[in-house]
Amino acid sequence: MSTKKNLETTFQDIEKAVKNIDLATLKQIAGVLPENLDGRAQKLVQIYNGIKPLLTVVSTLPIFSPAWRSALSIFTQAIEALVAAPDLAGADGVDFKAGKDV
């Protein structure tokens, strides 16, 4: 992620992304997805998509030590690699439809 993109992330971008986390759907997903790696990954992707802008901005704040910022950036990159995995195909990275497997 470029520094320019990080600087362009606004409070409104973060607020919109966090508010787009659909807690009701997450609770429903938790009850339907299997308790295996695939199910957990799909839930993680759903949450990550909502907090990605926040993590991006926090990883650039100079109030944190360079080691902390670096660790957060590496963590974000690892989650980003998971989100981009072809196994988690779906418009938003989650291949889940309520009632699909019921």
| Angle at alpha carbon of residue 79, lines to 31 and 85, rounded to 5° | 80
pLDDT for the residue numbered 72: 92
| Domain spans, the chain | 3-88
pLDDT for the residue numbered 29: 64
- What pTM did the predictor assign? 0.59
Q: Around 16, how many Cα atoms within 13 Å sit in the side-chain half-sphere?
A: 5
pLDDT for the residue numbered 86: 75
Return per-residue pLDDT of the chain as tens, 102 residues.
Answer: 444 454 577 888 888 888 887 777 767 666 666 677 777 777 788 788 888 888 888 888 999 999 999 999 999 999 988 888 777 644 444 454 445 554
